[in-house]
Amino acid sequence: MNHTTEDMNSAESARQPALLFVDDEENILSSMRRLFRGRPVQLATALSGAEALAYLEKHEVDVVVSDMRMPHQTGAELLSIVKDRWPSTMRIILTGYAEVDDTLAAINEGEIYRYVLKPWDDIHFISVVEGAIEVKAMRDEQARLQRLVRRQNRELADLNAVLERKVEQRTAELQAVTRQLAFANDNLKKGFVTSIKTFTSLIEMRSGSMAGHSRRVADLAKLIATQMGLVEAEAHEIMVAGLIHDVGKLVLGDHLIEVPYSQLSNTDRQEFEKHTINGQAALMAIDQLQGAAVFVRHHHERFDGKGYPDGLAEESIPLGARILSVANDFDALQIGTLEDRPLTREDAIRTIRSQSGKRYDPEVVDAFSAVINEPQAPTAKPETPARSGDLIVGMVLSRDLSTHTGMLLLAADHVLDERNIEQIQQFERSGKQPLPIFIYKPQDAEEEV
């Protein structure tokens, strides 16, 4: 087997196209070599199909050009084998006029790129071979790009998988942080409200009749606000205002608190009516209570403009204050701090309704009427009364725990520990009467823990 190689400049890094010419006549091969001498190709020749296959076993070839008629193995047979074993190699066959029919069959069977008639035209022959080289280069580039795309797709899939895992991990971390923040915020909110309830209980301890007044006002005000369609944050702010609406009474003398408003002299009434202004002033330093402080100032305004301290009327009175006015007076009428004598619940309801459009906002009165006799929804977790001696660690209070004088000991939803239980029992022993203790049922308390 004869081999000749004509390389381009050795400095070039790209591999030159490799050609293999196959013919049983040496002079034909010599003619082919002359045609491609000086061209940027690697050229090898073989005198038979067997020699050509042996060469292909060891070398990468881009284009095989074979004569059709050769002894032992025809060009068509050789190129058919090349198609099966090296399908990317371009295949060209040389044939005579008499062999055209056989050549066409070989083209179909061996998927031959082109055929060239002998004797060939040099320019045409070179053009056919260079065309095959270009097609092979384009196919190789296409295959390379496809491999690159597949590799990049695999890398992208791997990267996406890593990113998804990182996103899932980060999302889980953020969710955990969010839950922790929500828990901390909920605890802060509960602690804040508990502090206000404790402060309120100190106010109410000045008068036995006032025990629980602020909490009842706050609860009713929240129900009315919810009935009127206010959002949770607005209803909560009104509820907080209900808890602290009497904070200004701390500076009043005892007789101004103990004597019903209707029995006070004009001078005493003027002094008493300052408590709303004093209440707002006392809350000015606390940013979280600025909205509630406005409601505290105006909860004794009247819808007809005859109230105090600023004589506001109708819509100029903040809605929270209009709601507090109804809730506060409803409870005050029943405990006897507003009129000469305490009224029954039914009489207090009739009195509120009779003042609709005068003392009170009609819309607020309508909402009050809708909720006041409506059966309250059961608590989310059924409660049960308990004695201090039966309390165990982990039980959860379903209501605020207060002394009979109105002092708040523990807020609702508090989880009892050993110290709490001991303190409750000490209060009962010192007061010589049991405290009103309500807890969630034991199985619900376990879930709460």
DSSP state string for 85-97: H-TTSEEEEEE-G
The predicted pLDDT at position 247 comes to 79
Longest dimension (CA), the chain: 140
Q: Bridge-partner residues for 45, per DSSP?
A: 21
The predicted pLDDT at position 234 comes to 92
Query: Does residue 163 form part of some domain?
Result: no
CA distances from 425 to 188, 254, 389, 395, 434 (A): 27, 32, 7, 15, 9
Measured in whole angstroms, the distance separating CA 212 from the mean position of its chain's CA atoms is: 42
Phi, psi of 418 (to 5 degrees): -60, -40
The predicted pLDDT at position 219 comes to 87
Reference 329, options 372, 393, 289; nearest CA is: 372
Query: Does residue 306 form part of some domain?
Result: yes
Contact 261, 338 (CB under 8 A): yes
Domain that holds residue 92: 18-142
Alpha carbon dihedral 320, 270, 200, 299, in 10-degree steps, equals -10
270, 127: one domain: no
CATH number for position 263: 1.10.3210.10
350, 421: one domain: no
Distance CA 78, CA 379 (A): 92
The predicted pLDDT at position 340 comes to 76
Element (H, E) at 385: strand 383-386
235, 312: one domain: yes
- Average of per-residue pLDDT across 117-135: 92
The predicted pLDDT at position 98 comes to 61
The predicted pLDDT at position 6 comes to 41
Answer yes or no: is pLDDT of 165 > 70.
yes
Give the residue from 377, 397, 428 where a domain finishes: 377
Answer yes or no: is pLDDT of 206 > 60.
no
The predicted pLDDT at position 67 comes to 92
Residue with tokens 């942080």: 177
Query: Does residue 182 form part of some domain?
Result: no
pTM check: above 0.85: no
DSSP 231: -
Residue 63, classed as helix, strand or coil, is: strand
Average model confidence (pLDDT) across the chain: 82
Give the residue from 109, 124, 142 where a domain finishes: 142
Query: Does residue 324 form part of some domain?
Result: yes
The predicted pLDDT at position 13 comes to 40
The predicted pLDDT at position 149 comes to 92
Side chain identity, residue 173 = E
- 47 pLDDT band, cuts 50/70/90, is very high
Domain count, the chain: 3
365, 432: one domain: no
356, 392: one domain: no
- Average of per-residue pLDDT across 295-321: 93
22, 111: one domain: yes
Query: Does residue 149 form part of some domain?
Result: no
- 185 pLDDT band, cuts 50/70/90, is low
